[in-house]
Structure 1
Amino acid sequence: MSTDELLFPEDTVSETDTPAASPPLSESPWKVMIVDDEQSVHDVTLLSLRNVTFQQRRLDFIHAYSGQEAIDLLQEHEDTALILLDVVMESDHAGLLTVKRIRESNHNELVRIILRTGQPGMAPAHQAILDYDINDYKDKSELTSDKLFTCVISSLRGYQGLQDIQQHQLKLLAAEDASQAKDDFLAAMSHELRTPLTALLGNGELLGRTVLNIEQKQLLESMEVSGKGLLYLINDLLDVSKIAAGKFSIDEGEFNLESLLHEVKTIFYKRAEEAKLAFRVVSSAHYPQLLLGDGHRISQVLINLL
């Protein structure tokens, strides 16, 4: 529009302002879209920002001359970091309508947006700035190259921060998915192993009630000890998964301490004997037959300690 003016005083960065020994630039530039219906605005913006780099990355400029063209180009360049957007173009509110489409229709929450206008009294309402995440609003007649530089760098820094947050969120989701897959695997493994193992232990208990010779009793006892040890190992794996998921719980109830100690002794006595170690359980006779607590967890603690 003919009344739009972009005035830069003589503080524009020149070629001689760039240090001679600068670090090598990355091949991946920051994409900056200039949206304005005046070619002169595009030209003076390029002149002002031609030497700007941020994080060893140069600026790559995309040019649009209307709100619709900006939307079309943004779909082609989804990684655009910053849009310098004129408020008044094909209509008095073309810029704000473009912002609304970017945020609501295109669901692009990453790209940073700076509104610029040369029309007095066309500043967006405060609520629009809040609703559409507009980063800044500048009057072209007051926008020097130094001010533009500051706006651009702060916006690119904000874009980079949002990208980092998005990457962390994706990694967190991937970790949660992996954790869920592990939990599902442990649950499936538990079902596949515990069911036949419980059947074997039950059959072993029934077999122990029959008439057996000494050798058969020893073999049966060894089978029961190994089976119970494997069952405790499976339960420990499941508990580790529950602890990681924050679902571990203590089930309080009555349990027989003497029976619990006998079960622990049964598991480790044979192992100690094979290792030529003495193993015995010494307990006081002065305790109630039934105690209140989580007998299963107490048994787990004793087994893991031993």
Structure 2
Amino acid sequence: MGKINLADGLPARVGVLGGGRMGAGIAHAFLMKGAEVVVVERDEQAEEGARERVESSVAKSIERGVVDGNLDEILESFSTSLDYAAFADRDLVVEAVPEDPELKKAALTGVEAVLGAGAFLATNTSSLSVSKLAESLARPERFLGLHFFNPVPASTLIEVVVAEKTSPELAAAAKTWTEALGKTAVVVRDAPGFASSRLGVAIALEAMRMVEEGVASAEDIDNAMVLGYKHPTGPLKTTDIVGLDVRLGIAEYLHSTLGERFAPPQILRDKVANGELGRKTGKGFYTWN
């Protein structure tokens, strides 16, 4: 598989494609554990947003005492770019662009074209087939899924998704990286929705149907899961945090691959059509300030 530079069990030089909420969180996670991180974005406005997200996230971690260190010194290992060429010296690049299969395929092939022969490539997809994303890659054995959870800095889970051609060595290395990040790995075979999205979306869709049918309010349904089953957050509030548009996209994909039990409820389609996407727009199943 080739030798890789390591920083305390992690790839020493990490790239992240896409600096939105998830990409910035992934960059933060590696940065705080000593890796040198570069985030590549599509335009100057997005690049500036990515830079602000990462810098703010690191600053908050230091303020809260989550990590010891000097902000300026930590940020010396962080940079942003508009050019895929910034990934040329990376040991690992994690793709974190929106959940659109064609967009992801184009992004992954673009990144792979500039990577060194010994580098690894990962996708942060939450539901798309990692094996299908790998079909356009020249080195699919060096590719796998690393499904981080939102918010990445606080989450303790990474779903390691092993595609059809992922090498066993890479799968094992990904578990080591997860542990070095202070998180726990759940290793799953590439299948629609993996483990987490498949179960999480199934519960959330049923909760939506219950609201639609007038069984109970969103608050009461969530409280039933939080108080009765010890879930940290109810399925509808989690949907608001993730984004109703994101949940709809995942549900549509699972519906197409796994059948009617994942058919999106009309209430979800209506809210997305009305721009009620959850926390990011101020309204979803809840109203957010």
TM-score after normalising by structure 2: 0.31
Q: Which has the larger radius of gyration?
A: 1
Q: Which is helix-richer, 1 or 2?
A: 1
TM-score after normalising by structure 1: 0.30
